[in-house]
């Protein structure tokens, strides 16, 4: 659908270089940061109509559209029940409280990709509120999670020599969740960890693909600085948008910290604004001054009846929740004696974790050392386990760590032989040098040739013989 | 057979079944009548060139190809739908409103699209950007509105029956002024999908017909849950024709608004109607209700807010004509609605209005614990003269004052003619209201009253 060329040119705007690279930020400031994260849910149909929800694989623009997602006069939205349930499940997974009574509201603003000139969103009663995500640098509280519809997409093209803006409505009314955090984030790395954890949990719930490059997951960071020791929120807030990877999120926040510190040091006040992130240059750039008094004229959407849940229904959703990565890692520790340093990375992806689970369970049946196996998998020392290759991986592992039965006298002979060849070992051992044990282990094994005895047995035998000397 | 165009829907269906005439000849007779009167009366904005074909195609179905007039704010696939605003001058919907799908499946043929107040904003058709419609009963007078075109189409016998939409009086008030029957179903009984939204929380499509029986027949095909409208009720729909011909003996009737100033012209006729109901065995008592003036405030705030939101999509990008094509009334409502929904004012206006709305609901609940139906005048006056609404921004609200309490609470109601001034050829209408989902009750009382009196010009007593 061609439209007039828009007077927008916010992308690729010039960026004034305000600081020098790598300048260390004065340590008198600390970051105050909260994230707003959007993710498109992967329900089969769109949020308020029956159209296919698959904007990234549509054969061509405006394929998956109907009167509802085109905002045709008279067309009415009907809420996607699954999208609502999934939003609540995410809330439960993040420890949120759930509003048993909720509703959709209209948020008004004019933009060509918004066909009704209002977005159906949630204003004062989101489905979920008051949750938390634990990070290694401390908890990040979740303010709220609400459900809304995505907009269409503008394509700026040259058609027959004319500069035009085209609108693709394939994405219009795709269910979109917004997860808003409290300004609890204190470092750029924590922001990254928080965002990654969120994506991990969302993928575990299997409710969104979170494809960052295509915009299936979008990160926005609200950043400001305050002098260390001060309480309360700073008077300004800089919102950084257009961030499409976790690495860029970290970089953008670091850049902002330095930029803002420099301005504060110079005694300047920092304007409330929205900035974009240019990944090529590694810099943020001003997009627009933040309208303090943005008035979206919210009011309850009269086309959508309020949504009511019973506590029993919510309890049902809780019972349906899959085991989340943190819980799984902890359980692997209990059941398979796998250390956290292996369990945490190996539980990161749900599908992979399911394969590993089968692997460990079978390894345990075969009385193999699961922690060692986890270490081998994590360090990629054996064939990467897939659903098809579990047997192979197990055999490889067993082969690597196989212990042959060995005749006691044969083992003793080997130890004696090594001692005879290395008489200084006994002296060192008596002097308390335990490092010789390692040397003895290696040499004894070599003496045994192709036989691989249980190292524990070898160690015991060496110790026993040394003590008799 | 002459004058087949003057038939009621019931007569039409009977005649077709008995092969007294063919559906096609009736539709053609109606088309001939439209050619005769439409230039003067300005009832139809668009005539359906396919009407005869649709009649033929639908003749084996229950509604037998009956020629129905459709208010032009109801989306008709492939047929221009303007809501009487030049913003949509060239808009051809790619889909049918649910009620159109249902009525077409029942064999209805669209004879044409009727004039209304632009965007249904008004009670006169004088805000239509395609010119006002004249009252066929007396062309110096207005037909009322906003469904003035549909009511006039029925009054002028230029259709077998018509479809209108009511937000606050827009079916019943023009029905009263044109001396026809207009039924406003409970909010949520009939799907709004495809009806160009005016005030989403009160819009209700319904039949405008020659008789109560016709309204019952049409409602059978319009009502019911719709997967395209989340505000429709899932409860089952009774056969409304079963509500016809029933006794109203012992029914308790509350007579409303006897003490409201400005009803001196109409109230004697409403009292006479009350007597008729008593003679039919009903128990009628005057009863006090919440002052309907408050309903005007509630309705004005809620409706303007919703209008400003609903009309926002006509931003000039996709429907041909831009915002400069909005008429004065639409602009007034958009501005007022934008104001009342603004930060800091939404609580003061919109939220407060919703609270008063709840108070009205509670008031009606109390009334209906004592009465089966409530009656009042539909409009405070006979049809007014042309030009009267111009420069009267609150014209519609004052005209619809008696209906707005039931509109904002979603109640079903019907207008039946209860007086005919033979000098002016103008009518007064009786409004009968029932609790939510009791359209059957409304139909029973209206049908009994209609059959006991001679005000209906299509009935031979």
Find, in chain B, the residue whose alpha carbon is nearest to that of A4: B317
Judging contacts by C-beta atoms under 8 Å, the chain B residues touching residue A305 are: 230-231
Using DSSP, state whether B205 is helix, strand or coil. Answer: strand
Last residue of a domain, one of A400, A423, A455: A400
Using DSSP, state whether B224 is helix, strand or coil. Answer: coil
Q: Which of B76, B228, B323, B342 to mutate to test the interface with A (most CBs of A within 10 A)?
A: B228
Candidates B344, B340, B354; CA nearest to B409 is B354
Contact indicator for A177, A147 with CB cutoff of 8 Å? yes
Contact indicator for A272, A238 with CB cutoff of 8 Å? yes
If you ran DSSP here, which 8-state letter would residue A245 be given? Answer: S
If you ran DSSP here, which 8-state letter would residue B140 be given? Answer: T
pLDDT of A362-403, one tens digit each?
Answer: 998 888 889 999 999 999 888 888 888 888 888 888 877 766
Distance CA B222, CA B166 (A): 14
Helices within B18-69 (DSSP H only):
23-41, 51-58
Distance CA B29, CA B6 (A): 9
Last residue of a domain, one of A370, A400, A430: A400
Are A372 and A434 members of one domain? no
Are A300 and A181 members of one domain? yes
Q: Does A302 map to a domain? A: yes
Q: Does A110 map to a domain? A: yes
In this model, does residue A292 exceed pLDDT 70? no
- Report the sign of the C-alpha dihedral through residues A113, A116, A117, A120, in that order: negative
Tokens, residue A187: 């470092």
Distance CA A302, CA B353 (A): 14
At residue B283, φ and ψ (nearest 5 deg) are -105, 115
pLDDT of A100-116, one tens digit each?
Answer: 999 999 999 999 999 99
End-to-end CA distance of chain A, in Å? 93
Asked if A78 is an interface residue toward chain B (Cβ–Cβ < 8 A), one would say yes
Find, in chain A, the residue whose alpha carbon is nearest to that of B349: A299
Which domain covers residue A461, as residue numbers? 408-468
Are A453 and A383 members of one domain? no
Judging contacts by C-beta atoms under 8 Å, the chain A residues touching residue B338 are: 297
Bridge-based pairing state of the strands A273-278 and A238-243 = parallel
Our CA-based measurement puts residue A237 at a distance from the nearest CA of chain B, in whole angstroms, of 21
Judging contacts by C-beta atoms under 8 Å, the chain A residues touching residue B229 are: 76, 78, 303
pLDDT of A128-185, one tens digit each?
Answer: 999 999 999 999 999 999 999 999 999 999 999 999 999 999 999 999 999 999 999 9
In this model, does residue A8 exceed pLDDT 60? no
**Residue range A250-278: mean pLDDT, rounded:** 93
Selecting among B22, B128, B170, B379, the annotated active-site residue is: B170
Candidates B60, B62, B65; CA nearest to B23 is B65
Are A302 and A342 members of one domain? no
How confident is residue A19, by pLDDT bands cut at 50, 70 and 90? Answer: very low
Asked if A299 is an interface residue toward chain B (Cβ–Cβ < 8 A), one would say yes
Question: For residue A209, what pLDDT is reported?
Answer: 95
Candidates B42, B72, B208, B29; CA nearest to B135 is B42
Are A110 and A88 members of one domain? yes
HSE at residue A450, side-chain half, CA atoms within 13 A, is: 1
CA B137 vs CA B44, B133, B161: distances in Å:
16, 12, 17
Using DSSP, state whether A202 is helix, strand or coil. Answer: helix
The DSSP result for B395-438, as a single string, is: HHHHHTTTTHHHHHHT--EEEEEEEEETTTTEEEEEEEE-STT-
All residue ranges of chain B with pLDDT < 70 are 1-2, 392-397, 460-461
Question: For residue A5, what pLDDT is reported?
Answer: 41
Using DSSP, state whether B203 is helix, strand or coil. Answer: coil
The answer to whether A118 contacts B312, with C-beta atoms less than 8 Å apart, is yes
Contact indicator for B442, B432 with CB cutoff of 8 Å? yes
Find, in chain A, the residue whose alpha carbon is nearest to that of B198: A74
Q: Which of A62, A73, A167, A308 to mutate to test the interface with B (most CBs of B within 10 A)?
A: A73
Are A35 and A160 members of one domain? yes
* Identity of the residue in B200, B308, B319 whose CB atom sits nearest the CB atom of A303: B200
At residue B274, φ and ψ (nearest 5 deg) are -60, -40
Question: Catalytic annotation on B84?
Answer: no
Question: For residue A6, what pLDDT is reported?
Answer: 37
Distance CA B324, CA B305 (A): 20
Overall number of domains in chain A: 3
Distance CA A267, CA A261 (A): 10
Asked if A291 is an interface residue toward chain B (Cβ–Cβ < 8 A), one would say no
Q: Does A316 map to a domain? A: no
Distance CA B130, CA B173 (A): 21
- Report the sign of the C-alpha dihedral through residues B70, B71, B77, B79, in that order: positive
Q: What residues have CB less than 8 Å from A230, skipping those under 6 apart?
A: none
Are A414 and A298 members of one domain? no
Residues listed for chain A: 469
Are A83 and A211 members of one domain? yes
Q: Does A185 map to a domain? A: yes
Question: Catalytic annotation on B85?
Answer: no
Are A375 and A236 members of one domain? no
Using DSSP, state whether A99 is helix, strand or coil. Answer: coil
Count of Cβ atoms closer than 10 Å to residue B369 Cβ:
8
Q: Does A21 map to a domain? A: no
Question: For residue B2, what pLDDT is reported?
Answer: 56
Name the pTM for this structure: 0.88
Candidates B73, B117, B83, B123; CA nearest to B394 is B123
Helix (H) / strand (E) containing A133: strand A128-135
Selecting among B75, B84, B146, B150, the annotated active-site residue is: B146
Question: For residue B262, what pLDDT is reported?
Answer: 86
Judging contacts by C-beta atoms under 8 Å, the chain B residues touching residue A303 are: 197, 200, 229-231
Q: Tokens 């090529």 belong to which residue?
A: A280
Residues listed for chain B: 461
pLDDT of A215-253, one tens digit each?
Answer: 999 999 999 999 988 888 999 999 999 899 999 999 999
Please compute Rg for chain B using Cα positions: 20
Candidates B366, B325, B333, B395; CA nearest to B169 is B395
Question: Catalytic annotation on B170?
Answer: yes
B4-452: CATH topology: Amidase signature (AS) enzymes (3.90.1300)
Are A441 and A369 members of one domain? no
Find, in chain A, the residue whose alpha carbon is nearest to that of B317: A3
Last residue of a domain, one of A377, A400, A423: A400
Q: What angle do CA B106, B110, B116 make, to 5 degrees?
A: 125
Are A455 and A436 members of one domain? yes
Q: Does A4 map to a domain? A: no
Helix (H) / strand (E) containing B71: strand B67-71
**Please, what is the average pLDDT of chain B?**
94
Distance CA B303, CA A352 (A): 55
Distance CA A95, CA A132 (A): 6
**Please, what is the average pLDDT of chain A?**
89
ipTM score assigned to the predicted complex: 0.93
Q: Does A464 map to a domain? A: yes
Distance CA A461, CA A61 (A): 75
If you ran DSSP here, which 8-state letter would residue B134 be given? Answer: P
Q: What angle do CA A9, A12, A18 make, to 5 degrees?
A: 120
Count of Cβ atoms closer than 10 Å to residue B181 Cβ:
34
Q: What angle do CA B398, B400, B404 make, to 5 degrees?
A: 110
HSE at residue A41, side-chain half, CA atoms within 13 A, is: 31
Q: Which of B196, B313, B348, B349 to mutate to test the interface with A (most CBs of A within 10 A)?
A: B313
Are A205 and A332 members of one domain? no
CA B439 vs CA B79, B239, B357: distances in Å:
31, 10, 21
At residue A117, φ and ψ (nearest 5 deg) are 65, 15
Contact indicator for B440, B186 with CB cutoff of 8 Å? no
Judging contacts by C-beta atoms under 8 Å, the chain A residues touching residue B88 are: 73
Question: For residue B64, what pLDDT is reported?
Answer: 97
Question: For residue B74, what pLDDT is reported?
Answer: 97
Cis peptide before A157 (omega within 30 of 0): no
């Amino acid at each position: 659908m061609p439209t007039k060329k828009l007077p927008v040119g916010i992308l690729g705007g010039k960026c004034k270089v305000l600081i020098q690279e790598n300048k260390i930020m004065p340590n008198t400031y600390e970051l105050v940061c909260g994230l707003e994260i959007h993710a498109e849910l992967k329900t089969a149909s769109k949020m308020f109509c029956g159209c296919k929800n698959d904007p990234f694989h549509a054969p061509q623009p405006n394929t998956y559209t109907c009167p509802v997602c085109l905002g045709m006069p008279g067309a009415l939205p009907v809420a996607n029940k699954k999208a609502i349930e999934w939003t609540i499940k995410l809330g439960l997974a993040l420890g949120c409280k759930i509003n048993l009574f909720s509703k959709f509201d209209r948020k008004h603003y004019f933009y060509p990709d918004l066909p009704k000139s209002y977005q159906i969103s949630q204003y004062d009663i989101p489905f979920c509120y008051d949750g938390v995500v634990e990070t290694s640098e401390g908890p990040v509280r979740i303010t709220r999670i609400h459900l809304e519809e995505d907009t269409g997409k503008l394509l700026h093209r040259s058609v027959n020599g004319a500069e035009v803006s085209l609108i693709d409505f394939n994405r219009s009314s795709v269910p979109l969740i917004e997860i808003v955090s409290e300004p609890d984030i204190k470092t750029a790395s924590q922001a990254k960890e928080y965002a990654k954890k969120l994506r991990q949990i969302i993928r575990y719930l299997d409710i969104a693909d979170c494809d960052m490059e295509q915009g299936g997951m979008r990160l926005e960071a609200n950043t400001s600085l305050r002098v260390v020791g001060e309480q309360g929120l700073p008077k300004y807030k800089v919102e950084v948008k257009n961030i499409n990877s976790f690495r860029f999120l970290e970089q953008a926040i670091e850049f902002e910290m330095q930029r803002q510190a420099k301005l504060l040091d110079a005694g300047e006040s920092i304007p409330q604004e929205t900035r974009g992130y240019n990944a090529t240059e590694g810099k943020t750039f001003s997009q627009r001054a933040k309208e303090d008094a943005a008035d979206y004229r919210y009011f309850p959407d009269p086309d959508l009846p309020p949504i009511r849940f019973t506590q029993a229904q919510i309890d049902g959703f809780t019972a349906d929740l899959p085991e989340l990565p943190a819980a799984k890692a902890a359980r692997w520790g209990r059941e398979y004696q796998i250390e956290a340093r292996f369990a945490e990375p190996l539980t990161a992806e749900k599908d992979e974790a399911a394969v590993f689970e089968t692997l460990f369970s079978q390894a345990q049946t075969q009385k193999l050392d699961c922690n060692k196996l986890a270490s081998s998998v994590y360090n990629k020392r054996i064939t990467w386990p897939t659903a098809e290759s579990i047997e192979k991986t197990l055999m490889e592992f067993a082969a690597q760590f196989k212990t042959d039965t060995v005749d006691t006298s044969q083992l003793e002979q080997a130890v004696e032989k090594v001692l005879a060849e290395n008489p200084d070992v006994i002296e060192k051992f008596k002097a308390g040098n335990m490092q010789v044990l390692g040397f003895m282990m290696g040499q004894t094994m070599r003496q045994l040739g192709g036989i691989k005895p249980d190292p524990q047995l070898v160690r015991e035998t060496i110790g026993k013989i040394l003590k008799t000397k | 057979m002459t004058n087949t165009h003057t038939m009621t829907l019931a007569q039409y269906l009977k005649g077709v079944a008995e092969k007294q005439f063919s559906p096609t000849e009736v539709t053609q007779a109606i088309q001939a009548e439209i050619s005769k009167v439409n230039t003067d009366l300005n009832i139809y904005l668009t005539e359906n060139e396919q009407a005869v074909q649709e009649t033929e195609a639908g003749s084996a179905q229950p509604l037998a190809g009956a020629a129905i007039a459709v208010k032009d704010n109801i989306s008709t696939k492939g047929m221009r739908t303007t809501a009487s605003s030049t913003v949509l001058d060239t808009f051809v919907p790619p889909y049918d409103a649910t009620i159109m799908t249902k009525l077409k499946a029942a064999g209805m043929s669209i004879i044409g699209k009727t004039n209304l107040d632009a965007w249904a904003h008004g009670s006169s058709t004088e805000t239509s950007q395609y010119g006002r419609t004249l009252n066929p009963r007396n062309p110096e007078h207005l037909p009322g509105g906003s469904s003035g075109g549909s009511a006039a189409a029925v009054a002028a016998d230029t259709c077998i029956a018509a479809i209108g939409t009511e937000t606050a009086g827009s079916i019943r008030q023009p029905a009263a002024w044109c001396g026809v029957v207009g039924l406003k179903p409970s909010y949520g009984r009939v799907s709004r999908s495809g009806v160009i939204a005016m005030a989403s929380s009160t819009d209700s499509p319904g039949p405008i017909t020659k008789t109560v029986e016709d309204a019952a027949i049409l409602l059978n095909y319009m009502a019911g849950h719709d997967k395209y409208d989340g505000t429709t009720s899932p409860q089952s729909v009774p056969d409304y024709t079963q509500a016809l011909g029933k006794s109203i003996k012992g029914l308790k009737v509350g007579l409303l608004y006897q003490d409201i100033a400005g009803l001196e012209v109409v109230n004697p006729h409403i009292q006479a109607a009350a007597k008729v109901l008593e003679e039919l065995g009903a128990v009628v008592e005057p009863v006090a209700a919440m002052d309907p003036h408050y309903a005007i405030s509630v309705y004005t705030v809620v409706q303007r807010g919703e209008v400003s939101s609903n009309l926002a999509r006509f931003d000039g990008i996709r429907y041909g004509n831009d915002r400069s094509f909005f008429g004065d009334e639409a602009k007034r409502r958009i501005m007022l609605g934008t104001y009342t929904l603004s930060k800091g004012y939404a609580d003061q206006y919109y939220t407060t209005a919703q609270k008063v709305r709840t108070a009205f609901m509670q008031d009606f609940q109390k009334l209906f614990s004592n009465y089966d139906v409530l009656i009042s005048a539909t409009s405070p006056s006979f049809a007014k003269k042309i030009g009267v609404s111009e420069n009267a921004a609150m014209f519609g609200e004052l005209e619809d004052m008696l209906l707005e309490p039931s509109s904002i609470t979603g109640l079903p109601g019907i207008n039946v003619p209860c007086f005919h001034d033979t000098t002016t050829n103008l009518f007064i209408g009786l409004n009968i209201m029932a609790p939510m989902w009791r359209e059957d009750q409304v139909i029973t009382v209206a049908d009994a009253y209609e059959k006991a009196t001679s005000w209906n010009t299509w009935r031979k007593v």
